[in-house]
């Protein structure tokens, strides 16, 4: 059986999208792992599957990491799916239903915005293994600000940009991701607030590894910087793949804005 797919990315954070509205729903761990693999499959950071809800402006999406695990939030992936669906349906406002909530998406020129909802700071909802000050969580040699943006994040700030850039994410990332303090593992963001107020960020994504960008991670980093008094509630985040723009609104929700790109369409055997 040949199944159609769309390959998209947001700042190099790349995705395989299955439009299952008129096609059979697909999910099998080994299939997800294979097509995510950049040597033996298509290659991507996450896979998103659109399901039929019979409502034009409301779509349900399931999100899977490249290791086959389901994840609750993916900001860049949601923006890519939203861009695809808005062009397909000829609309500029839609809702994407995920296991982490119903996310409103809009488009203005080339920018696609998703409202990621409210950040969560309660230790047991992030979740962490035990009650503690979530703004000062000790992870080996680092101190992290932990929160959830629909998935768990630990944000570590550096005072020196050079130290951030030379950090070996390949050795540090997987160790911190699976620190025993995180019962569901965690996304790890490493960041530095620059003199002009812009934030530079690198990321190790849970279940994926190093990625060029991470939307929920950019949101978590911006919120953490604001909570710790390092920045305002509106920030430009510089990632390896480009820039994302975060705004922590008066209603306590967080918006994520940036560009997306449709790379190619294809068919894959299942």
If pLDDT is split at 50, 70 and 90, which confidence band does 115 have? very high
**CA torsion sign, 219 to 261 to 166 to 45?**
positive
At the fourth CATH level, which superfamily is domain 2-117+258-269?
A: Diaminopimelate Epimerase; Chain A, domain 1 (3.10.310.10)
Residue 229, Cβ density class (10 Å: 0-12 exposed, 13-18 middle, ≥19 buried)? exposed
Please tell me whether residue 38 adopts helix, strand or coil conformation. Answer: coil
Summarize the confidence of residues 200-211 as an average pLDDT.
97
Summarize the confidence of residues 248-265 as an average pLDDT.
98
**What pLDDT, on a 0 to 100 scale, did the predictor assign at position 28?**
86
| Strands 254-259 and 111-115, bridge-based pairing | antiparallel
Choosing from 80, 192, 214, 219, the catalytic residue is 214
Q: Which of 19-28, 55-64, 153-162 has the lowest mean pLDDT?
A: 19-28
Assessment of whether the complete model's pTM goes beyond 0.85? yes
74 in active site: yes
Summarize the confidence of residues 152-164 as an average pLDDT.
98
Choosing from 74, 80, 105, 219, the catalytic residue is 74
Q: Distance from CA of residue 32 to its chain's centroid?
A: 18
pLDDT tens by residue, 33-90: 999 999 999 999 999 999 876 667 789 999 999 999 998 889 999 999 999 999 998 9
If you average pLDDT over every residue of the chain, what do you get?
94
Rounded to the nearest 10°, the torsion over CA 193, 198, 203, 205 is: 120
**What pLDDT, on a 0 to 100 scale, did the predictor assign at position 206?**
96
**What pLDDT, on a 0 to 100 scale, did the predictor assign at position 24?**
66
pLDDT at 25 > cutoff 90? no
Cα–Cα nearest to 199, from 152, 246, 167, 163: 246
* Fold designation for 137-250: Diaminopimelate Epimerase; Chain A, domain 1 (3.10.310)
The answer for residues whose C-beta is within 8 angstroms of residue 141's C-beta and 6 or more apart is none
Residue with tokens 């604001």: 226
Q: Do 2-117+258-269 and 137-250 agree at the fold level?
A: yes
Enumerate the domain spans of the chain.
2-117+258-269, 137-250
């Amino acid at each position: 059986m040949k199944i159609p797919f769309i390959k998209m990315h947001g700042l190099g954070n790349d995705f395989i999208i299955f439009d299952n509205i008129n096609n059979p729903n697909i999910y099998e761990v080994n299939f997800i792992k294979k097509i995510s693999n950049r040597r033996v499959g298509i290659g991507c950071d996450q896979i998103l599957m659109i399901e039929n809800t019979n409502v034009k402006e409301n779509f349900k999406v399931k999100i899977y990491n490249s290791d086959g695990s389901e994840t609750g939030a993916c900001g860049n992936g949601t923006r890519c799916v939203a861009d695809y669906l808005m062009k397909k349906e000829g609309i500029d406002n839609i809702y994407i239903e995920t296991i982490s909530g119903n996310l409103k998406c809009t488009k203005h020129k080339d920018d696609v915005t998703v409202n990621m909802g409210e950040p969560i700071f309660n230790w047991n909802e992030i979740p962490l293994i035990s009650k503690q000050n979530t703004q000062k969580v000790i992870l080996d040699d680092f101190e992290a600000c932990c929160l959830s943006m629909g998935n768990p994040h630990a944000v570590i700030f550096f005072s020196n940009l050079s130290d951030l850039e030379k950090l070996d994410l390949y050795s540090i990332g997987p160790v911190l991701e699976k620190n025993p303090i995180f019962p569901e593992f965690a996304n790890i963001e490493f960041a530095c607030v620059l003199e002009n107020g812009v934030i530079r960020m690198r990321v190790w994504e849970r279940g994926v590894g190093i990625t060029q960008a991470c939307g929920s991670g950019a949101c978590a980093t911006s919120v953490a910087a604001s909570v710790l008094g390092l920045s305002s509630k509106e920030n430009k985040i510089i990632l390896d793949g480009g820039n994302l723009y975060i705004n922590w609104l008066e209603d306590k929700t967080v918006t994520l804005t940036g560009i997306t790109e449709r790379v190619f369409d294809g068919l894959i055997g299942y």
